[in-house]
């Protein structure tokens, strides 16, 4: 049997899963919408892997990252549970060891990671506003009556991008409508949107950061060649992209699971019913909210308590 390692990146918009081998080759991958139900999303990915994995591959390591990493980590009995910054850095440096700046723009958030000699030295995240993210692009595509996948190609046909204020989603939509009413061509508006995303990122997420080359662009938005071109034009340098750039968080945490004690992962985990609920401890003035997860009505994990009194509320 050959060893395989499972990595899951659970975000608010999308859930990504990979299976890699001991040499970090991606054997299987899956990218789906979370749709507000991370447990069901992960079950779909595990089911896909179960049906498509080679029979001579045995999963001996599992890692989770993303906003629901703790929840899914408990369900999958993960070998390692890590934050997105660490996961993206580990995944990226495994394939691009020379990189000094990681730009990542996802569905509802974005981040910048600065690397020196393959060590993360600084980072920043934007989780307060969806302006300039994949969700923002999708909403504007719908407003323009286009598929978001076509944005990049259309943007490249423009020689005169229309300035769009994208620091706030509400203002961006208002500005977009205004520019359309002024008679601006759709291709110029789209190119302007791509440029505004890059400017919004650089003026907010990367504000005060020293961006050094080589630079890699990751996340779902990195698939938009219009936004890639906008970053290259503004920064006056080549931007590296990777076919697996949207999967780097999952790949990174799968790589980290290789260093943990081997486990015996069972794909039949999808056949169990998992439910979460919460209550407030009340054992002390902290009044912590305790999150509990049950597997077929049996408590398997809980978190949120700041002291041992929190254990009482889970009994």
Low-confidence ranges of the chain (pLDDT < 50): 314-315
Domain count along the chain: 3
Q: Are residues 194 and 225 in the same domain?
A: yes
Q: Are residues 129 and 228 in the same domain?
A: yes
| pLDDT value, residue 254 | 98
| pLDDT value, residue 315 | 47
User: What is the dihedral angle through the alpha carbons of 273, 277, 281, 287, rounded to the nearest 10 degrees?
Assistant: 140
| pLDDT value, residue 162 | 87
Q: Are residues 254 and 305 in the same domain?
A: no
| pLDDT value, residue 294 | 82
Asked if 172 contacts 164 with a C-beta cutoff of 8 angstroms, the reply is yes
Give the DSSP letter of residue 162. Answer: P
The model's pTM is 0.85
Q: How far is CA 207 from the centre of its chain?
A: 21
Q: Are residues 126 and 32 in the same domain?
A: no
| pLDDT value, residue 30 | 97
Q: Which domain holds residue 234?
A: 98-241
Q: Are residues 108 and 192 in the same domain?
A: yes
At residue 168, φ and ψ (nearest 5 deg) are -140, 135
Q: Are residues 254 and 301 in the same domain?
A: no
| Region for residue 162 given its phi and psi (left: phi exceeds 0; alpha: psi -120 to 50; beta: otherwise) | beta
Q: Are residues 119 and 64 in the same domain?
A: no
| pLDDT value, residue 54 | 94
Output the domain CATH number for residue 155: 3.30.420.40
Q: Are residues 82 and 9 in the same domain?
A: yes
Q: Are residues 133 and 263 in the same domain?
A: no
Q: Are residues 33 and 17 in the same domain?
A: yes
* Element at 174 (helix H, strand E): helix 169-181
Q: Are residues 137 and 38 in the same domain?
A: no
Q: Are residues 58 and 120 in the same domain?
A: no
Tens-place pLDDT, residues 15-59: 999 999 999 999 999 999 898 899 999 999 999 999 999 999 999
């Amino acid at each position: 049997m050959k060893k395989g390692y499972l990595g899951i990146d659970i975000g608010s918009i999308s859930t990504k899963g990979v299976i890699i081998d001991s040499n970090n080759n991606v054997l299987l991958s899956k990218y789906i919408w979370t749709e507000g139900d991370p447990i069901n999303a992960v079950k779909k990915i595990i089911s896909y892997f179960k049906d498509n994995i080679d029979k001579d591959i045995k999963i001996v390591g599992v890692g989770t990252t993303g906003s629901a990493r703790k929840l899914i980590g408990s369900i999958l009995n993960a070998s390692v549970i890590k934050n997105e910054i660490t996961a993206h850095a580990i995944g990226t440096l495994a394939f691009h060891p020379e990189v000094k700046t990681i730009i990542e723009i996802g569905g509802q958030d974005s981040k910048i990671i600065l690397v020196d000699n393959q060590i993360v030295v600084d980072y920043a995240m934007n989780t307060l506003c969806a302006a300039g993210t994949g969700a923002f692009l999708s909403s504007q595509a719908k407003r323009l009556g286009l598929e978001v996948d076509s944005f990049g190609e259309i943007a490249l046909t423009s020689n005169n991008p229309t300035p769009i204020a994208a620091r706030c989603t509400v203002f961006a939509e208002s500005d977009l409508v205004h520019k359309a009413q002024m008679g601006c061509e759709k291709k110029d508006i789209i190119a302007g949107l791509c440029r505004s995303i890059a400017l919004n990122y650089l003026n907010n997420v990367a504000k005060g950061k020293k961006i050094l080359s080589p630079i890699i662009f990751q996340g779902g938005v990195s698939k938009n060649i219009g936004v890639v071109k906008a970053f290259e034009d503004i920064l006056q340098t080549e931007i590296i992209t990777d076919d697996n750039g949207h999967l780097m968080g999952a790949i990174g945490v799968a790589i980290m699971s290789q260093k943990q004690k081997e486990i015996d992962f069972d794909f039949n985990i999808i056949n169990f019913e998992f439910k979460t609920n919460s209550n407030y401890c009340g054992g002390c003035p902290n009044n912590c909210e305790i999150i509990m997860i049950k597997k077929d009505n049996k408590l398997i994990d809980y978190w949120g308590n700041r002291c041992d009194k929190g254990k009482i509320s889970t009994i």
